[in-house]
């Protein structure tokens, strides 16, 4: 293959995924713009945005990749339900990872901002928001990834090429929207 | 079989993934801290705030797609790390072309969306220019980061699939924020 052929093929194969993920990212940005009041009310919340978004992609993207490989190898069955121990373990581990890492990001952000003498909300407030957002987004993304990968596989689609776009398009929107919901809940309960 | 069984237990998966996730979170906090120092600017220019998630996401995607393609080519024995390698040059050129296609549209959409819900804070031309220039710079950086990371993984005998995609995605995320604000300061 010549350079031109390689480039044309890579361009053609990647453009649809990139446009989908751009649409997802723009909607995530719109939610972020609508979050101005919460960003102002909870100093340090903005610091968490990239870390929490990346965690959604890292954890649930890897869940999708794991399920894709397992389906190819016949390690798990393509049936929706709670009967498969391996599928349950993969989902439980992804949720545990997602929630633990979200909490860790909040603790680290508070420590770093305090060391830098920057304004920051209370540790309990930021950690509560991160854990709550981690839990809700984890449940939503798990349902999205498992459903799309298993149903796609049953319809004869390659799960490896499905999981990536699902996570990149829904991950940012779900990630930011759940941060907004979690911030509102924690602020309503008296945090801040 | 013991090894195999632990791949599908909760504690086995958590033990494998968590250390890397914690390191990547530390890296991502750097871009969060950069955002924090620009909080006043971002709240005054909603179209710039709107560009943040999409720029981060697109930079990470450009890097991760390139990394996945190079890893596959590498596994198939189709790749050599030479600037004259057709597959390397073709994929690098496609990354830049993709960024030049998508980022101007992203800039125009970001301006349009903020104009629809309130005040964009910046002119349409400025937002499109910031998005386009950021996209071009990020595409070049994504190529450099991906090629270097894939090469390092190869030299140390690591499977590029395990290491390169997460590292490249997260490094490109951080670069996304840094480049966006660097370009904003030059353009606006």
Domain harbouring A94, CATH code: 1.10.357.20
Q: What percent of chain A has pLDDT over 90?
A: 62
Q: Taking CB atoms and an 8 Å cutoff, what residues of chain A touch B101?
A: 15
Q: Taking CB atoms and an 8 Å cutoff, what residues of chain B touch A89?
A: 8-10, 13
Per-residue tokens: A113: 């901002």
**How many angstroms separate the first and last alpha carbons of chain B?**
60
Q: Which of A29, A37, A103 to mutate to test the interface with B (most CBs of B within 10 A)?
A: A29
CATH at residue B116: 1.10.357.20
Cα-based distances in Å from B87 to B18, B80, B139, B174: 34, 9, 17, 27
Number of Cβ atoms within 10 Å of the Cβ of B85: 17
| Res. A29 pLDDT band, cuts 50 70 90 | very high
**Sign, CA torsion B105/B107/B108/B109:** positive
How many structural domains are present in chain B? 1
What would the pLDDT profile of A172-192 be if each residue is shown by its tens digit? 899 999 999 999 999 999 865
How many structural domains are present in chain A? 1
Looking at the complex, does the CB of residue A117 fall below 8 Å from at least one CB of chain B? no
Cα-based distances in Å from A66 to A94, A145, B8: 11, 11, 10
Mean pLDDT within B109-127: 93
Cβ contact, residue pair B113, A25, below 8 Å: no
Looking at the complex, does the CB of residue A20 fall below 8 Å from at least one CB of chain B? no
Q: Taking CB atoms and an 8 Å cutoff, what residues of chain B touch A90?
A: 8, 13
> Is residue B9 in some structural domain?
no
Looking at the complex, does the CB of residue A189 fall below 8 Å from at least one CB of chain B? no
Q: Which residue has the higher pLDDT, B82 or B111?
A: B111
Cβ contact, residue pair A28, B51, below 8 Å: no
Instruction: Kindly report the pTM of this predicted structure.
Output: 0.88
Q: Which of B10, B33, B46 is opposite residue A112, by nearest beta carbon?
A: B33
Cβ contact, residue pair A3, B86, below 8 Å: yes
pLDDT at site A192: 58
The interface predicted TM-score of the complex, written ipTM, equals: 0.87
Q: Taking CB atoms and an 8 Å cutoff, what residues of chain B touch A5?
A: 90
Looking at the complex, does the CB of residue A73 fall below 8 Å from at least one CB of chain B? no
pLDDT of residue B1 exceeding 50 = no
HSE (side-chain half, CA atoms, 13 Å) at B53: 34
Q: Which residues form the domain of A178?
A: 3-188
Burial class for A80, CB neighbours closer than 10 Å (0-12, 13-18, 19+): middle
Judge contact between B58 and A25, C-beta under 8 A.
Answer: yes
CA dist A85 and B29 (Å) reads 35
Q: Which residue has the higher pLDDT, A59 or B69?
A: A59
pLDDT at site A164: 74
Closest CA to B53 of A57, A108, A128, A40: A57
Cα-based distances in Å from B131 to B24, B110, B117, B123, B171: 25, 9, 20, 12, 19
pLDDT at site B168: 85
Cβ contact, residue pair B10, A3, below 8 Å: no
Cβ contact, residue pair B174, A90, below 8 Å: no
- Which residues, at least 6 apart from A113, have a Cβ–Cβ distance to it below 8 Å? A43, A44, A47, A119, A120, B33, B36
> Is residue B130 in some structural domain?
yes
Per-residue tokens: B11: 């504690």
pLDDT at site A104: 97
| Res. B29 pLDDT band, cuts 50 70 90 | very high
- Which residues, at least 6 apart from B144, have a Cβ–Cβ distance to it below 8 Å? none
- Name the residue with tokens 């370009």: B183
What would the pLDDT profile of A76-134 be if each residue is shown by its tens digit? 888 877 788 889 999 999 999 999 999 999 999 999 999 999 999 999 999 999 999 99
- Name the residue with tokens 């530390």: B26
Cβ contact, residue pair B33, A47, below 8 Å: yes
Which range, A134-138, A155-159, B31-35, has the best average confidence (pLDDT)?
A134-138
Q: Which residues form the domain of B144?
A: 23-187
> Is residue B74 in some structural domain?
yes
Q: What percent of chain A has pLDDT over 70?
A: 99
Mean pLDDT within A31-60: 92
Q: What share of chain B is helix, strand, coil (3-state, %, to 5)?
A: 85, 0, 15
Mean pLDDT within B65-78: 80
Mean pLDDT in chain B?
Answer: 87
Number of Cβ atoms within 10 Å of the Cβ of A93: 25
pLDDT at site B178: 92
Q: Which of B5, B9, B16, B17 to mutate to test the interface with A (most CBs of A within 10 A)?
A: B17
What would the pLDDT profile of B148-183 be if each residue is shown by its tens digit? 998 888 888 877 666 777 788 888 888 999 999 999
| Res. B136 pLDDT band, cuts 50 70 90 | very high
Mean pLDDT in chain A?
Answer: 90
């Amino acid at each position: 293959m010549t350079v031109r052929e390689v480039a044309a093929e890579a361009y053609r194969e990647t453009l649809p995924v990139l446009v989908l993920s751009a649409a997802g990212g723009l909607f995530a940005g719109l939610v972020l713009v609508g979050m101005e009041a919460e960003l102002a009310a909870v100093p340090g919340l903005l610091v968490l945005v990239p870390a929490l978004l990346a965690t959604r992609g890292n954890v649930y993207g890897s869940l999708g990749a794991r399920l894709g490989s397992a389906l190819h190898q016949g390690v798990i069955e393509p049936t929706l339900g709670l009967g498969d121990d391996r599928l349950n373990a993969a989902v439980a581990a992804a949720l545990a990872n997602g929630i633990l890492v979200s909490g860790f990001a909040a603790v680290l952000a508070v420590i770093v901002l305090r060391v830098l003498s920057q304004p920051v909300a209370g540790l309990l407030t930021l950690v509560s928001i991160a854990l709550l957002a981690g839990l809700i987004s984890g449940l939503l993304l798990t349902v999205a990834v498992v459903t799309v990968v298993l149903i796609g596989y049953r319809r004869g689609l390659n799960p490896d090429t499905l999981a990536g776009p699902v996570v990149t398009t829904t991950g940012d929107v779900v990630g930011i929207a759940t941060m907004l919901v979690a911030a509102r809940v924690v602020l309503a309960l008296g945090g801040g | 079989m013991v090894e195999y069984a632990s791949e599908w237990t909760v504690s086995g998966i958590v033990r494998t993934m968590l250390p890397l996730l914690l390191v990547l979170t530390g890296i991502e906090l750097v871009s969060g801290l950069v955002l924090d120092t620009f909080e006043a600017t971002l709240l005054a220019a909603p179209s710039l705030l709107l560009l943040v998630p999409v720029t981060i996401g697109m930079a990470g995607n450009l890097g991760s797609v390139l990394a996945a393609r190079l890893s596959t080519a590498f596994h198939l024995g189709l790749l050599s790390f030479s600037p004259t390698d057709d597959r390397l040059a073709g994929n690098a050129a496609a990354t830049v072309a993709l960024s030049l296609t998508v980022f101007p549209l992203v800039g125009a959409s970001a301006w349009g969306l903020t104009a629809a819900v309130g005040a964009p804070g910046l002119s349409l031309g400025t937002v499109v220019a910031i998005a386009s220039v950021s996209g071009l710079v990020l595409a070049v950086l994504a190529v450099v980061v991906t090629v270097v990371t894939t090469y390092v993984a190869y030299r140390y005998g690591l499977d590029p699939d395990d290491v390169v995609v997460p590292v490249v995605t997260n490094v490109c995320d951080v670069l996304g924020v840094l480049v966006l604000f660097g370009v904003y300061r030059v353009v606006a």
